[in-house]
Amino acid sequence: MNKKSVKRGLMPYIFLIVFVIVVYFIFSSMNQKVNKMTYDEFVVQLNKNNITELEVTPKERSVVYLLEGKLKGYKENETFRLNVPFSDEVMKEILKTDEEGNLGFKLVANSDPESSTLLMILVDVLPLVLLVGVALWFFSRQVSTNAKSMDFGRSKARLSNGESGVTFKDVAGLKEEKEEVSELIDFLKNPKKFQKLGARIPKGVLLVGPPGTGKTLLAKAVAGEANVPFYYISGSDFVELFVGIGASRVRDMFKQAKQNAPCLIFIDEIDAVGRQRGTGLGGGHDEREQTLNQLLTEMDGFGTNEGIIIIAATNRADVLDPALLRPGRFDRQVTVNLPDIKAREEILKVHARNKVLGEGVTLKNLAKRTPGFSGADLENLLNEAALLAVRRNKESITMAEIDEATDRVLMGPAKKSKKYTESEKRLVAFHEAGHVVLGLKLDDANDVQKVTIIPRSYAGGYAMMVPKEERYTSTKKELLEQITGLLGGRVSEEINFGEITTGAHNDFEKATKIARAMVTEYGMSDLGPVQLEQQEGGVFLGRDYNKSRNFSNEIAHEIDLEMRKIMDECYKKAKEILTKEKDLVKLIAETLLEYETLTKEQIDYLVENGHMPEVESLNDFNISELKTRAKEAGIKGCSKMTKEELIDALDNLDKEDNEEDEDAK
């Protein structure tokens, strides 16, 4: 906590204490009754012996005395007061005693207050000091307010000295990308090695890739590895309401960098300020374009910025201005893609360092089951699994928690409160069984790693379908069989129930997208090897409204016919296979109704042996058997529990029994 915040926090309490003191003195003075008295009246009361207490205090450099006291018959809060001149006659009159030498009252004589240096300072100097202090405080606040109002043009770039603690050891699965940026650090540490052969280090490196792939993490690692000043800023920090502020901040940022060269500058989400110029509605010139113009000039203009290397990150390189991407500004683009299976295993090892994994958990198998996951997704997956293990009071993370965490990341938490009717549950089971069978019978269809009929998000159930092998390209046969596998749910409904439902809408969405891409982008139809559509993400307009169409209305009709032809052929093929394998569909569906969730290993065993493997743990029991065991154990409300809830309840019951046995021993 900084000193300014501490002072601001104490000020209300100081004012409160002063207020209480002032109020106390005001009320105490209001309750005190003071009677003014003349000197003659005082002498009369003195001669009558009516004075019981008297206090004498010198005033005005001992020229006048203040007399305060009480008379007989006064109340406790009642006193008299008068001023008398200092003279021997007055003092003789006051100090007059009787024959026995008694005054007849209690006398208190105070010293001259002006003779005390401390009291004089408190009375004369302290008010002046307080007045000057308050004036200076208000003046400093005014100056700081004015300074802040003039501080808009200062750069918001923050200097990092490697305090993030992230190094290249924390960045997994980006071997080539780390080599690209580590070359920058090597140049800054040892430039002569490069200059010896006439090499010029890139002035800028642009990190491009989907969200969560590790672009910002890579920049943090550069900050942790570099022994040079490292400035980091977000692209949105340049954008302001006032005209010219963004350009001023760019100038100030490069000014600071020049003073600390050699150094690195990291600009995160550069698309916030680097979008194409002249694409606004009406072609207007806005403040953001001024900021971009200044950035272009500073990166590679008439001036030179030797020793300053810029690293920037973005998810949308397609919207950046071409002048920003040319060599001399961003000489090099580093694409940070989604990790492959080997990279996913390395990423999981990094994030599993502080996790306690069970014996049955292998990161290699987990990497196989998570294609398409980014680094951020994998970190979230292990974190969700750890949270579930804590919630279930387990000492380590098992595959049960990892399976549940995978489902939560992909589809959201299970809808345990949402209950099926028996007919609806049966229909969902046969729907998912159709996907499973086509995944088994088609060589190039997506493989089903897991299937469940537990509702999640908007889905009544789902099958986790992943490619059998990860490839950079896909053949026409693979795409057609993927479409066929997606249509398996609808076909199974039609064959087994003679009725269709709305449950296949997401399958149709994916299948239609593949079919249209085959016709319009990949050239895999009778229309020939022609690209008829391509995505062009507009800078201001939405992507869906800015799709390039290089065909006439007649071709559009032919595209629709080709798409329908692909979908009809795949639907027909799916129907032939599922009709032939109707018994297998029924076996898998009936097993799903009992167990609710099946993994790939269980599916393979079921297909090979015609039944599930022998029960070894609670996870292997079907839900009806678990409910029977729970009823016998006396667990209340077990009839409304899901399979996971029943397993947790029985596990906790076993732990309690074991603890009671140990106590008895």
Among 572, 602, 570, 568, residue whose Cα is nearest residue 588: 602
User: Residue 343 to residues 211, 340, 375: CA-CA distances in angstroms?
Assistant: 16, 5, 9
CA distance 207 to 656: 54
Residue type, 215: K
Please enumerate in sequence order all residues whose Cβ is within 8 A of that of 170, keeping only pairs 6 or more positions apart, or say none: 217, 221, 350
What DSSP character marks residue 321? -
Residues in the chain: 665
| C-beta separation of 332 from 202 below 8 A | yes
Q: Residue 106, SS3?
A: strand
Alpha helix (H) residue ranges in 157-281: 175-189, 191-195, 215-225, 245-259
| Residue 432 annotated among the catalytic residues of the structure | yes
Identify which of 663, 616, 661, 625 has the alpha carbon closest to the alpha carbon of residue 646.
625
DSSP 614: P
- Chain-centroid distance, C-alpha 655: 37
Candidates 432, 481, 493, 562; catalytic one: 432
d(CA 231, CA 159): 5
Name 452's Cβ contacts closer than 8 Å, sequence gap at least 6: 407, 432, 461, 462, 463, 592, 596, 597, 598
Instruction: Check if the beta carbon of residue 315 is closer than 8 Å to that of residue 271.
Output: yes
Residues taking part in catalysis: 432
